[in-house]
Amino acid sequence: MNKIYDLIIIGAGPAGLAAGLYAGRYQLDTLIIEKAQDGGQISLTSEIENYPGQIIDVKESGNDLIARMRKQSDGFGAKHINDDINSLKLEGDIKVLSSSYGNEYRAKTVIIASGAHFRPIGCKNEDKFRGMGISFCATCDANFFRNLQVFVVGGGDSAVEEAIYLTKFAKKVTIIHRRDELRANKTVQEKAFKNDKIDFIWDSVVDEVNGSDVLNSITIKNVKTGELTKYDADPKDGMMGLFGFIGMQPNTEFLKDSGIEFENGYIKAGESTHTNIPGVFAAGDVRTKLLRQVITAASDGAVAAHEAEKYIASLS
């Protein structure tokens, strides 16, 4: 393929689709390449209620929101295809992207918006109860666990901070940690230890989760003794929550030989979204950033498209 796009966007989550929308409005000839289903992590969320401007009453799912974002970016002319980019030559004025299906794409600029995924908890039946009691985002889902018992897995800053946040909703929050000492910073630890609604299960991991339609029991394994303990939801509640915060994994495997710089596994890029390679930008969860949410991903997409437009103008 000899066509040279102004911009290729890798990933059709909130960052990629917002970039597509803005690039379309800048009249850049834009191609969005998505490997799988549009939406990334948000497509796993059954109800989104923290994106400004939504009509909350209709209980919009992540997929519904993404479908509207897609329609909007299509409407401004961004083209969209499914393909799996597995190699990138990013130096020089024309960037060349190759796919595992043998296709080649060329562009003056590239926005990488390939997202990240939460490290799975790693217990039996986990996939069955994702979105049905198991969550990886307290900001998104805490409200669904009002007055229910909630378990949190992990001992780092995310696990302990999110556990504290969850106490505003849940009747009780139990942190399950694989060691007998938290990794989280001391200030956060102190807050958690002082919080009456939080208790701890040490030296333990989640072995199995069960339920009918929704999660209503979890089995925890003591890693020192091997002892298994089953916790059932209060019959009056009918369900319980389980949040996993054992680290994130950015989707950067395909970039390993691209020359892009990383920091802790994420693409090193600040609020300007510039990477170390001119004409290549990183937007959304895949880049180093403070808060990974739909709203911040969409914001990055707008910034990255703006910066791509400026870069292209500087070439002429």
Write the binding mask 219 to 258 for ligand NAP: x where contact by CB under 6 A, - elsewhere: --------------------------xxx-----------
The least CB distance from residue 97 to ligand NAP, in Å, is: 30
The CB density around residue 96, as the number of other CB atoms within 10 Å, is 16
In which order are the strands placed within the sheet that holds 215-222?
Answer: 204-211, 215-222, 228-232
What are the DSSP calls for 167-187, one per residue?
A: TTTSSEEEEE-SSSS--S-HH
- Annotated catalytic residue: which of 29, 38, 83, 141? 141
38 is catalytic: no
Which one of the spans 71-79, 103-111, 148-156, 208-216 is the region binding ligand NAP (CB under 6 A)?
148-156
Is 156 a residue that touches ligand NAP (CB under 6 A)?
yes
Q: Which amino acid, residue 38?
A: D
238 φ, ψ (degrees, to nearest 5): 80, -15
The least CB distance from residue 161 to ligand NAP, in Å, is: 5
Nearest residue to 197 (alpha-carbon basis) of 245, 148, 141, 134: 148
3-state percent helix, strand, coil for the chain, nearest multiple of 5: 30, 30, 40
137 is catalytic: yes
Is 161 a residue that touches ligand NAP (CB under 6 A)?
yes
Contacts of residue 249, defined as CB under 8 A and 6 or more positions apart, other chains included, come to 116, 117, 118, 119, 265
Is 89 a residue that touches ligand NAP (CB under 6 A)?
no
Is 123 a residue that touches ligand NAP (CB under 6 A)?
no
| 183, 197, 268, 306: residue in contact with ligand NAP (rule CB under 6 A) | 183
User: Catalytic residue numbers?
Assistant: 137, 140-141
User: Which residues contact ligand NAP by CB under 6 A?
Assistant: 122, 153-159, 161, 178-179, 183, 205, 245-247
